Amino acid sequence: MSEKVRIGIIGGGLMGREVASALGRWFVLEDYPVQAELVAICDLVEKQREWFRQIPTVKLITADYHELLASPGIDVVYVAVPHHLHETIYLDVLRAGKDLLAEKPFGIDLKAARSIAATAGATGRFVRCSSEFPFLPGAQRAYQIARAGQLGKLLEVRSCFHHSSDLDPTKPANWKRQVKTCGEIGVMGDLGMHTVHVPFRLGWKPKRVYAQLQKIYHQRPDGKGGLASCDTWDNAMLHTEVEIDGGDVPLRFEMKRLAPGETNTWFIEILGTDGGVKYSTKEPKTLWTFHRAKEQTWQRTDLGFHGPFPTITGGIFEPGFPDCFLQMWASFLAERAGKLGDRFGCVTPEEAVFSHQLFAAALASHEEKKAIAL
């Protein structure tokens, strides 16, 4: 019998339900060493809690997360709440003796991220941070190609995540549009972890950053007939420099809430003198690879459904968001059980703290209109 891990969720909104969906089809994983079961859910809002009543394994439904943390029948807690609550709730989870899959950005700012990472270390709990797109087959192939290091001299890297729904000025404001709940780093906190995960794991840590940050709409409907101020950064371009094989290589991170036509596009491009690779969720099964021989070619490969953890899904089918989210959870619980092997792991507390160092430097860069060393 494989080990059973009992999971509780704090924050049953958009992402809390995605986790319920991933855990609800755990049986699709093949030869996987750990069983996972959703047993408890906490949300302040009754309507959010009610949704979880349809899940037969959920035994505890509460509005008070302290009650969930006091339950001895929970091993791992996933927390998906607004950013200003991350530090308090993550620390409470760790001090209650539970392991934690934290949502990004791992605290509202650098100070909070450092405090969470320090408490993770002091309590010895297993802690990782959410970032699911690198678990898509195309992203995995891009990572492996870059890691193999046969691209010649690296010319440039772009790692980006673009959204577009904020182009509509009538879209109502929510907590993600306000500094007090989303954080001073704004869109970098919302989308940044998704862009840094693969480069950081390749060891590509920026030495310097020059940031261009934009606030586009300053007010939005508040959903009650009035207007709410929106004071977070909407778009961010972080022009950074990383040392790869002794050379300085430009690495650009782009995080945009207003990118025309891009509903939820995660993409990475790694270009070298001898080879290159591009992958975008816009073409979820397509990998583009560049080869320089007598003639130069961009080759298009149709990838199948081959994530790091095998599933029953047919190998020719297309992967999507719920699939990479399931793969991320499989990676988290495999690593927690010491069974990750050489497969790709979730964002570590150290990587999350470094992302906050980058974003804090980006704020300073934009303010001072100069490049900031990290």
Ligand X SMILES: NC(=O)c1ccc[n+]([C@@H]2O[C@H](COP(=O)([O-])OP(=O)(O)OC[C@H]3O[C@@H](n4cnc5c(N)ncnc54)[C@H](O)[C@@H]3O)[C@@H](O)[C@H]2O)c1
Residue ranges in contact with ligand X by CB under 6 A:
10-15, 42-45, 48, 65, 80-83, 85, 103-104, 130, 132, 190
Nearer to ligand X, 125 or 197 (CB): 197
Q: Which residues, other chains included, contact 83 with Cβ-Cβ below 8 Å and sequence gap of 6+?
A: 105, 107, 108, 181, 182, 183, 189
Q: Which residues, other chains included, contact 217 with Cβ-Cβ below 8 Å and sequence gap of 6+?
A: 166, 169, 230, 234
* Distance of closest approach, residue 88 Cβ to ligand X, in angstroms: 8
DSSP string, 171-223: SPP-GGG-HHHH-TTTHHHHHHHHHHHHHHHTT---SEEEEEEE---SEEE-S
Nearer to ligand X, 15 or 244 (CB): 15
Nearer to ligand X, 99 or 103 (CB): 103
* Distance of closest approach, residue 370 Cβ to ligand X, in angstroms: 29
Round to whole Å and give the CA distance between 3 and 337.
9
Closest-approach residue to ligand X (CB): 13
In a 3-state reduction of DSSP, which class is residue 74?
Answer: coil
Nearer to ligand X, 17 or 59 (CB): 17
* Distance of closest approach, residue 11 Cβ to ligand X, in angstroms: 3
Nearer to ligand X, 106 or 290 (CB): 106
* Distance of closest approach, residue 10 Cβ to ligand X, in angstroms: 5
Write out the two tokens for 7: 């999971």
* Distance of closest approach, residue 84 Cβ to ligand X, in angstroms: 9
* Distance of closest approach, residue 83 Cβ to ligand X, in angstroms: 6
Nearer to ligand X, 12 or 206 (CB): 12
356 contacts 106 by C-beta, under 8 angstroms: yes
72 contacts 322 by C-beta, under 8 angstroms: no
Write out the two tokens for 17: 């339900």
Round to whole Å and give the CA distance between 267 and 284.
10
